[in-house]
């Protein structure tokens, strides 16, 4: 990923952190209360693809090494 593109993605995360945290919180509520109607493919996709990319972006934003 180019440094300009990376910077834009990190800025997007920073600009939208409230919305992102609301989605994370909402997913937690659904997992706790509506577990019988959860599409497990969405959960797996989030865990396998979205969260690692978000973690890497956050580590870069905080200048921490990825694990």
Average pLDDT, stretch 15-25? 77
**According to the model, what pLDDT value does residue 56 have?**
83
Residues 6+ apart with CB under 8 A from 38: 30, 31
Angle between helices 3-15 and 17-33 (to 10 degrees): 60
**According to the model, what pLDDT value does residue 39 have?**
85
Dump pLDDT digits (tens) for 26-63.
777 878 888 788 888 888 888 888 888 888 877 877 77
Q: What is the Cα–Cα distance from 23 to 13, expressed in whole angstroms?
A: 13
Residue 47 is given by DSSP the state I
pTM over 0.75: no
**According to the model, what pLDDT value does residue 66 have?**
57
Residues 6+ apart with CB under 8 A from 61: 10, 13, 14
């Amino acid at each position: 990923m180019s440094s300009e593109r990376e910077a834009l993605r990190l800025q997007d995360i920073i600009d939208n952190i409230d919305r992102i945290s609301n989605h994370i919180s909402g997913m937690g509520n659904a997992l706790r209360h509506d577990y019988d109607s959860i599409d497990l493919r969405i959960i797996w996709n989030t865990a396998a693809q979205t969260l690692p990319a978000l973690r890497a972006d956050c580590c870069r934003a905080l200048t921490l090494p990825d694990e």
